[in-house]
Amino acid sequence: MSLLVSGKIERSSGYNLKLDLELPNHGVTAIVGASGSGKTTLLRAIAGLDFTPELSVSLDGISWQDQSVCMPAHLRPVSMVQQHAGLFPHLTVLGNLQFPKRRRDGYALDMEQAIERFSLSSLLHRKPASLSGGEQQRVALARALLAPARLWLLDEPLSSLDVLARRELAPLLASLCQELGQPVLYVTHALHEVLQIADYIVVLEDGRAVAAGNPDEVGRQIDHPISAEIDVGGILACEFDSFDPEHNLSRLNLGSEVLYVRGDLASLGPRIRLQIPARAISIARSDTDQSSMLNRLPVTISEIGEASSGSVLITLDCAGQTLFARITSLSAERLDLRSGLAVFASIKSVALDARND
């Protein structure tokens, strides 16, 4: 049983989305793609907000829409948080929280829990216009959780927030996603936002799913892990070792190798996933030369892509995990890189930052 989405969406503007996805009906599914890749179109279609007659959607064998049926959006058991909070301006915060129609089945949180989890008690009698962006989004999330649903749709819920508000809300959102016990579709252009909690990742590009799978395998599926705007790169599974407060670095183990990442990542748990964009990796033939780069991993070149616009994509095997490096084709020639060659991949430490933008 799962969430099935298949068919196509065509817009008069020429934009079209063509998909055949079978998504797990539990855990967090990250849908990653650059703007214009069709992420929001997909979520709106699942929620039933737009008329998309050529798309079939079903959850656990119950069809929400196909050639013959179309369940109205307000009857679909989904709850969705969008980029913009969408709070009702004529109601107070409390009025907004009380807006969802009570459905027969239970809901994720009750009112008191929602107010407490999102620290809303001091805001209850204020109007949305007087709230900051972060506060508005907290109200929107609480309100969505008060509307019972069997599927939670998050459409870039943090993207309209400033960095501070995002840092505050991201961990709360992450823990809620895991606690809910409902499937969550989390759409974002910033994979790191959802990387630690994602159980399944779908990469969208130009209306097509170019990769779909578990975090460990998705990197290997992508033919071209970078489009013009998004650089998914490789995803490494590491273990948290220790935090060095003096240098503000976390030490992570990757097999017998060690990686250093800025900041204290202890709260992320013993297993940490790192997304390493292809543009953040450089390649060296030896590890003798001095460099400011802290992280230098022995890797084997498994594939060298076609050169295009002066750069080339190199697929690297790192103790069984896959990394990608995008370097100039001139460097590739000068270093005489070939398949099977053992080299060193240097990773800018900033690129490893799992939580900060």
Partner 1 sequence: MNADLLQSLGVTLLLAAVTTLILLLVAPPLAWWLARTRHRSRPFFEALVALPLVLPPTVLGFYLLLAMAGDGALGALWTMLTGHSLAFTFTGLVVGSVIYSLPFVSQPLTTSFRNTDGMLLDAATLLGTSPVARFFRLVLPLHRRALIAAAVLGFAHTLGEFGIVLMIGGNIPGETRVLSILLFDQVETLNYAVAHTTALILLSMSLAALTLTYSTLGRNP
Q: What's 5's DSSP letter?
A: E
State yes or no: residue 82 binds partner 1 (CB under 8 A): yes
DSSP 3-state assignment of 323?
A: strand
In sequence order, what are the residues at sequence separation of 6 or more whose Cβ sits closer than 8 angstroms to the Cβ of residue 158? 137, 166, 169, 170, 173, 188, 193
Q: Which is nearer to partner 1, 140 or 313 (CB)?
A: 140
Q: Which is nearer to partner 1, 147 or 294 (CB)?
A: 147
Q: Which is nearer to partner 1, 140 or 261 (CB)?
A: 140
Give 6-55 as a DSSP string.
EEEEE-TTS-EEEEEEEEESSSEEEEEE-TTSSHHHHHHHHHT-S--TTE
Q: Which is nearer to partner 1, 141 or 313 (CB)?
A: 141
Q: In angstroms, what is the minimal distance from the CB of 53 to partner 1?
A: 16
Measure the CA–CA gap between 21 and 3, rounded to whole angstroms: 8
Asked if 269 and 324 touch (Cβ cutoff 8 Å), the reply is no
* Chain centroid to CA 167: 15
The contact pattern for partner 1, residues 40-59, with x = CB under 8 A and - = no contact, is -------x-x----------
State yes or no: residue 24 binds partner 1 (CB under 8 A): no
Q: In angstroms, what is the minimal distance from the CB of 49 to partner 1?
A: 5
Q: Which is nearer to partner 1, 83 or 311 (CB)?
A: 83
Q: Which of residues 278-337 bind partner 1 (CB under 8 A)?
A: none
Task: With contacts defined by CB under 8 A, name the span among 78-86, 222-230, 285-293, 299-307 that binds partner 1.
Answer: 78-86
Closest residue by Cα to residue 311 from 292, 286, 287, 329: 329
State yes or no: residue 65 binds partner 1 (CB under 8 A): no
Q: Which of residues 125-154 bind partner 1 (CB under 8 A)?
A: 140, 143-144, 147
Q: In angstroms, what is the minimal distance from the CB of 310 to partner 1?
A: 43
Burial 42-54 (b: 16+ CB within 10 A, else e): bbbbbbbeeebeb
CB atoms within 10 A of CB 215: 19
Q: Which is nearer to partner 1, 152 or 324 (CB)?
A: 152
Task: With contacts defined by CB under 8 A, name the span among 66-74, 249-257, 315-323, 334-342 that binds partner 1.
Answer: 66-74
Closest residue by Cα to residue 174 from 192, 196, 154: 196
Q: Which is nearer to partner 1, 50 or 241 (CB)?
A: 50
Question: Given the rule CB under 8 A, which residues bind partner 1?
Answer: 47, 49, 72-75, 78-80, 82, 84, 86-91, 99-101, 103, 140, 143-144, 147
